[in-house]
């Protein structure tokens, strides 16, 4: 409980330390990202020590973020469209992104997740889950 109180204090301090709307927005986005990560932690995961789903959700968040920026859509719109089992070709078609955008997307994933994905692996991605697995297993 003490940890939660410290987190609340730190969030309040960061949020109210600035009057800049853009900085406040960024702080709120970070809070929402962490809430999404925490929400995926279930009692079962805590009991058996399996946190792979949390890792998956972190990578999925990075994918959502990159696709939102690439498509110019709000991240919530991208989250509604892009799920772990979504087909990559369908996602890119829906977001009006082409093959060059896909190459740039893979490069962004590599940079943000600090991994290297071979061209061969990238060509084989059929579903978003394939990308997530490639990042987690690197």
pLDDT at 8: 66
DSSP 79-122: HHH--TT-BHHHHHHHTT--HHHHHHHHHHHHHHHT----HHHH
Question: pLDDT tens digits for 78-114?
Answer: 999 999 999 999 999 999 999 999 999 999 999 988 8
User: Catalytic site residues?
Assistant: 98
Tens digit of pLDDT for each residue in 18-73? 788 888 888 777 777 766 666 555 555 556 655 555 588 889 999 999 999 999 99
If you write DSSP's letter for every residue of 35-77 in order, what string do you get?
HHHHHT--HHHHHHT--HHHHHHHHHHHHHHHHHHHHT--HHH
Which H or E element spans position 31? Answer: helix 21-39
pLDDT at residue 21 in the model: 83
CA–CA dist 58, 101 (Å, integer): 22
Q: Give pLDDT, residue 45.
A: 59
More confident residue, 22 or 132: 132
pLDDT score at 134: 92
């Amino acid at each position: 409980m003490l940890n939660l109180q410290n987190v609340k204090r730190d969030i309040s301090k960061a949020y109210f330390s600035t009057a800049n709307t853009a900085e406040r927005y960024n702080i709120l986005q970070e809070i929402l990202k962490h809430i999404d990560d925490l929400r995926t932690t279930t009692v079962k995961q805590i009991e058996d020590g399996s946190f792979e789903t949390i890792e998956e959700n972190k990578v999925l968040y990075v994918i959502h973020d990159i696709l939102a920026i690439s498509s110019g859509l709000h991240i919530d719109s991208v989250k509604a469209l892009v799920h772990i089992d979504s087909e990559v070709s369908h996602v890119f078609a829906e977001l009006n992104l082409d093959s060059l955008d896909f190459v740039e997307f893979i490069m962004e994933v590599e940079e943000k997740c600090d991994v290297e994905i071979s061209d061969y692996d990238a060509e084989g991605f059929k579903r978003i889950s394939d990308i997530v697995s490639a990042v987690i297993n690197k």
